[in-house]
Amino acid sequence: MKPFMKIMAPALLGSTLLFQPAYAETPPNMLVVGFSMNNILTLDPAAITGKETVQVLTNIYDNLVALDAVNRAQVDPQLAESWTIAEDNGSITFKLRKGAAFASGNPVTSADVVWSFKRLMKLNLAQASFLKTHGFSAANADQSFTAPDDNTVVIKLPKKVDPQIIVQTLGIVGPGSILDMKTVMANDKNGDMGTAWLTNNSAGSGPFTLGQWQSNERVTLEQNPKYWGEKPAMRRIMMRHLAESQSQRLMLEKGDIDIAYSMSAADLKALENNKDVRIQTNGGSGFYYLAVSMKDEKYQKPKVREALRYLIDYQGLNDSVLPYFGKLRDRPVPAGIFGALPNAGYKLDVAKARALLAEAGYPNGFSTTLRAISDVPFMSLATAIQATLAQAGIKAEIITGSGDQIYGAMRERKYELLVGRGGGGQLPHPDSNFRAIVYNPNNADEAKLTNFQGWRTSFYDEKINKMIDDALVEGNKDKQIKDYEAIQTYYADMMPSIQPFSEVVDSVGFRADIKGLELNPSWSTQLRTVKKER
Amino acid sequence: MTNERLTAFTRQAGTILATLIGLLILTFCIGRLMPVDPVRAIVGEEADQATYDMVAERIGANLPLWQQFFRYVNDLAHGDFGTSIRTGQPVINDILHVMPATIELATFAIIFGAGLGIPLGILAAVRRNRPIDHAIRFVTLIGHSMPIFWTGMIGLIVFYAMLDLVGGGGRLSDYYIGLVPEATGFLLIDSLLAGDMEVFRDAVNHLLLPASILGYSSLAYITRMTRSFMLDQLNQEYITTARVKGLSKNRTIWHHAFANIRVQLVTIVALAYGTLLEGAVLIETVFSWPGFGQYITNNMLIGDMNAVMTCVLLVGIIFIALNLLSDALYKIFDPRTR
């Protein structure tokens, strides 16, 4: 067998040398982004769900307006160069910029804008919920969205709300994305308004067009030669499906990808001292929280809920489990959003929690279950909370499972405690947080208001519902801010069913030669501003 | 065809059909028992009940399970494999896209695994209980017991990140993606057809590491089985007789002992190849390899039953075909079975 080894060893070595990679870095005019694309099921803006698809489509579709990446209170013009709100707050009039065209060459007209919104409401898919919340529907879409002329769009609000939240909603990728009506309708199939075609085709006016989407493989974006704005520095963006954080890290270190969107905290930490890599963290959306079910007798007692508030190690969780992905926040409105109060400053206080439990009739604690998704960081969060609960005698059995299992139990209102993530936040408006976390217009089981986490926790408080509704229609900005502050104070006092302990932030790693990357807290990070300085 | 042959053929066809139908029923039941909700995957966490109900009706998820199953089987009987929830494409198109990537990977892996595993197994048997035997058994034990996910990651760190000998994740480097037209889906073939040797080199470079690691795990199995088969033969009296009669050691091993284990080897190599075709999901995940294993797993995780059922059907057909192939090879290698 010696001759065998004599042949095989050089053959193996020779083959690796012969086929060695020719290039050690990405092409200068092509940006390579790595992240997990497991959640991308379609590229139709009306039907998308989740952050990853927004990260792709924000580079393909324009909206009337854009949510500013740095100043969350600011809304920037995009296809609309200006907008005015009627004095009675009943309508918004947008003036479109002239000269904007879709990738097909068709001009962007008010007819396209109006059709895009009507399509969203008529299809009634995932993204329609953003506008349905404010009274828009397929039935009133024809009256709500009109185009008096080629450059003007008028949106009549079906119910009284803060027009600012509608303007902000139109800045979100999905509900606000403007489509090329002619191109899409040319691909209509059995009246689907182009849904099947848009699954893996695009019809936008953004800086890039969709070159190719291979599910769980890659998305290729090509520069849109018809783009009305400043020409992007990159000719092509290659988004690669890299499900594993460590693969992203290795490829980023080697320079085979320029940006890694979905690395774990451990890998981000390992890159902290790499001089070729930078890490950027920005505000994200939503919260990490501990939720109780008000269906459970124990948690119907405010003293028990208050005790739980003091059995969370806020600082410890944020320092040890959530670096890069969470920032300490114990209020239901993210820091930096108008009306947000400073943190209440809750701390782990076992003695106080024990006293509260004793007052509630549980001097020796009780047994309960704690559900968490079997994934990072939820398992670590659940384990840490289990330990602090135990200090007050609460024996929490952790139940883990997939997202469907854990949030499914929450949607069915069949759980006791749950560590979760959510609570609005893509919109920089406190209403979106309150509506997601505590608002519950109908607490009946049959109502099945599963999109409201307030309903999922079976928490119902008429007063806070009214406060949220009133604040949204308050025309005086200063008064509105005061109203939102008052809601946060009331929320804290009434011992809610959801106690946030961290606000979600995003962190990405990128090569040091990448300039102009600005993470957008609303997930719509624009890559047209990115260039390479080599 | 004689009556006997016709009966045998009918019986075999009936067995195959029954196996495939059983496989479909079992997969459907398991898929529906799994706590995944395809409708929720489509509409997202924030959708209201009206949207949920509308999509459930559209994809037929609101129908009783038996109706969903018979609807699928009915479509199947009409040659319609359905549309995937994940990609929005006909499942058959998806499979035609992902299968070449996996076949390329598995074929290289089995060449590596069997090409090294069989000689090593023979060597270990011939040098039984000597240091070389222990060394081979130790190496194969590692290959058998180490999680392939971990081996893959270590392989990437050492050979890609540290030594820079092979490519990283994916089938090609960024520079070469989309350069050659997709004629067959097999990158090695497509690059050769296009006459683009740089793409060919890059594709081989990306294939080497995942295929070797995948091959290593099958090598472990093949080596151990070969050793066992060979030991069995070497202990037979005809081997002693051959040696006593003056036949050289090499001739005894290769012409007599090895000739007698070829039939068994064909079976284990064929089955190992089948396993590699459908079970490479972990290595595909680590190496971001867009293959069949990842496709079936990701679709299973969102309850995309059209895709899962078609994939399972295909896996069943592959295994049946491999069994038939090994039966045919039996007849070539072992005249007694003719």
Please write the tens of the pLDDT for every residue from A417-455.
999 999 887 899 999 999 999 999 999 999 999 889 999
Indicate the range of A205-214, A271-280, A349-358, B230-239 predicted with least confidence. Answer: B230-239
B338 falls in which pLDDT band (50, 70, 90)?
Answer: low
Are A269 and A321 in contact, with CB atoms under 8 Å apart? no
A82 falls in which pLDDT band (50, 70, 90)?
Answer: very high
Q: What is the pLDDT of residue A1?
A: 44
- Interchain pair B198, A38: CB under 8 A: no
Query: Which of the given ranges, A92-96, A334-338, B52-56, B185-189, has the highest pLDDT on average?
Result: A92-96
- Rounded Cα distance between A267 and A251, Å, is 12
- Contact B173/A at CB under 8 A: yes
* Residues in chain A closer than 8 A to B40 (CB atoms): 404, 408
Q: What is the pLDDT of residue A9?
A: 54
Q: Which of B141, B145, B162, B144 is nearest to B153 (CA)?
A: B162
pLDDT tens digits, A188-237: 999 999 999 999 999 999 999 999 999 889 999 999 999 999 999 999 99
Q: Which two tokens stand for residue A109?
A: 């007209």
Residues 167-226 of A with CB under 8 A from B: 196, 199-200, 211-212, 214-218, 220
In this predicted structure, the answer to whether residue A390 has a pLDDT above a threshold of 70 is: yes
Q: What is the pLDDT of residue A10?
A: 54
Chain mean pLDDT for chain A: 93
DSSP for A476-495? -HHHHHHHHHHHHHHHHHT-
Tokens 């499972």: give the residue.
A401
Nearest to A199 among B47, B51, B88 (CB): B88
Q: What is the pLDDT of residue A505?
A: 93
B182 falls in which pLDDT band (50, 70, 90)?
Answer: confident
Q: What is the pLDDT of residue B1?
A: 57
In this predicted structure, the answer to whether residue A24 has a pLDDT above a threshold of 90 is: no
Are A141 and A122 in contact, with CB atoms under 8 Å apart? yes
Which H or E run contains A285? Answer: strand A277-292
Indicate the range of A310-324, B200-214, B243-257 predicted with least confidence. Answer: B243-257
Indicate the range of A130-139, B42-51, B67-76, B276-285 predicted with least confidence. Answer: B276-285
Q: Which residues, 6+ apart, have CB-to-CB distance to B181 below 8 Å?
A: B190, B194
pLDDT, average across residues A321-334: 94
Nearest to A129 among B51, B285, B301 (CB): B51
- Interchain pair B88, A253: CB under 8 A: no
B196 by Cβ neighbours in 10 Å (0-12 / 13-18 / 19+) ranks as middle
Q: Give me the phi and psi of A504, to 5 degrees please.
A: -75, 130
- Interchain pair B44, A50: CB under 8 A: yes
Question: Is the ipTM reported for this complex over the cut 0.90?
Answer: no
Q: Which two tokens stand for residue A233?
A: 């520095």
B62 by Cβ neighbours in 10 Å (0-12 / 13-18 / 19+) ranks as middle
Nearest CA in chain B to A411: B45
Radius of gyration over alpha carbons of chain B, in Å? 24
- Interchain pair A247, B168: CB under 8 A: yes
Are B86 and B302 in contact, with CB atoms under 8 Å apart? yes
- Interchain pair A50, B157: CB under 8 A: no
Bridge partners for A482 per DSSP: none
pLDDT tens digits, B261-276: 988 898 899 889 988 8
Indicate the range of A255-269, B3-17, B143-157 predicted with least confidence. Answer: B3-17
- Contact B104/A at CB under 8 A: no
B203 by Cβ neighbours in 10 Å (0-12 / 13-18 / 19+) ranks as buried
Q: pTM higher than 0.90, yes or no?
A: no
- Interchain pair A254, B168: CB under 8 A: yes
Q: Which amino acid makes up residue A517? A: L
A8 falls in which pLDDT band (50, 70, 90)?
Answer: low
- Interchain pair B46, A24: CB under 8 A: no
Bridge partners for A44 per DSSP: none
A61 falls in which pLDDT band (50, 70, 90)?
Answer: very high
B302 falls in which pLDDT band (50, 70, 90)?
Answer: confident
Residues 403-422 of A with CB under 8 A from B: 404-405, 407-408, 422
- Rounded Cα distance between A306 and B297, Å, is 43
Tokens 């997939």: give the residue.
A402
In this predicted structure, the answer to whether residue A13 has a pLDDT above a threshold of 70 is: no
Nearest CA in chain B to A424: B46
- Rounded Cα distance between A190 and A174, Å, is 23
In this predicted structure, the answer to whether residue A139 has a pLDDT above a threshold of 90 is: yes
- Interchain pair B156, A250: CB under 8 A: yes
Are B224 and B140 in contact, with CB atoms under 8 Å apart? yes
Q: Which two tokens stand for residue B53?
A: 């109900």
